[in-house]
Chains A and B, each alone.
Chain A
Amino acid sequence: MRSFQQNLAKLEAADTQVLGVSMDNPYVNKAFADENGVTFPLLSDFGGTVTRQYGIYKEYDKFKTKIPAARRVTYLIDTNGKVVEMQEDADAVDPTKTVTACERRKLKG
């Protein structure tokens, strides 16, 4: 999420709202945002309903148990509510592709 924060000005300049989502509760997200200087909304999908709707709910083997969480995926959604770009897993860590896609759309518009 820090890398999105670093690119926030570029994304906002391209008329794009950044929304982070995880299955953490809002209190954890508050602490996370404060510690990392995140100023955009970090949404809490506690229970995973939205994560399941997007089909990226996954159980991770951690600490000898299975912990449910979302996969790391970034969706770029246009003003008509349509998914126009999607970066998955390792590709989704660095938002450069999302930034480029937003800027390209801005030029077109």
Chain B
Amino acid sequence: MRKTSIAVLLACSLVNAMALAQTQKESAPLAPNVKVGGPAPDFTLMDQNGQSHSLHDYRGKKNVALAFYLWAFSPT
């Protein structure tokens, strides 16, 4: 009985460790190299009214000022 519980505990911690490793891998930057003169990665994201916007929608039509901000309601 005791041996079984130890085995179960070990299995659980292994699964946890694997999950943790996965999370850390996901949080690593994919391409931290968007630079002046280089291409801007395409994206499709939803706005505050539920409408989708893609960077490629503006190709050949308009410049895009893509302004990243930290949080809504953050000062400035």
Interface mask (B16-42 → A, CB under 8 Å = 1, otherwise 0): 000000000001111111111111111
Majority secondary structure of chain A interface residues (helix, strand, loop or mixed): mixed
Main secondary structure of the interface of B (DSSP, over half): loop
> Which residues of B22-76 are within 8 A (CB) of A?
27-43, 45-51, 53, 55-56, 58-73, 76
| B-contacting residues, A68-89, CB 8 Å | 68-86
Task: Give Cα A69–Cα B66 distance, bound, in whole angstroms.
Answer: 16
- Determine if B68 and A72 form an interchain contact, defined as CB atoms under 8 angstroms apart: yes
CB-defined contacts of B67 to chain A, threshold 8 Å: 1, 4, 18-21, 74, 92, 95
Q: Point out the residue from A17, A35, A45, A93 that lies within 8 Å of B76, measured CB to CB.
A: A93
Contact, CB under 8 Å: B63 / A30: no
Contact A42 B72 (CB under 8 A): yes
Using A1-B69, A81-B56 as known contacts, say yes or no to A16 and B45 having CB atoms under 8 A apart.
Answer: no
Given contacts A51-B68, A54-B68, A75-B40, A17 and B51 within 8 Å (CB-CB) = no
Instruction: Determine the interface band of chain B, counting residues with CB < 8 A from chain A.
Output: 35 or more
Question: Complex: how many Å from CA A86 to CA B48?
Answer: 25
Contacts A3-B76, A70-B70 given; does A41 touch B47 at CB 8 Å: yes
The count of chain A contact residues (Cβ–Cβ below 8 Å) is 64
Q: Are A15 and B43 in contact (CB under 8 A)?
A: no
CA distance in complex: A24, B33 (Å): 23
Bound form: Cα–Cα A86–B47 in Å: 22
User: Given the interface contacts A55-B34, A80-B59, does A50 sit within 8 Å of B45 by beta carbon?
Assistant: yes
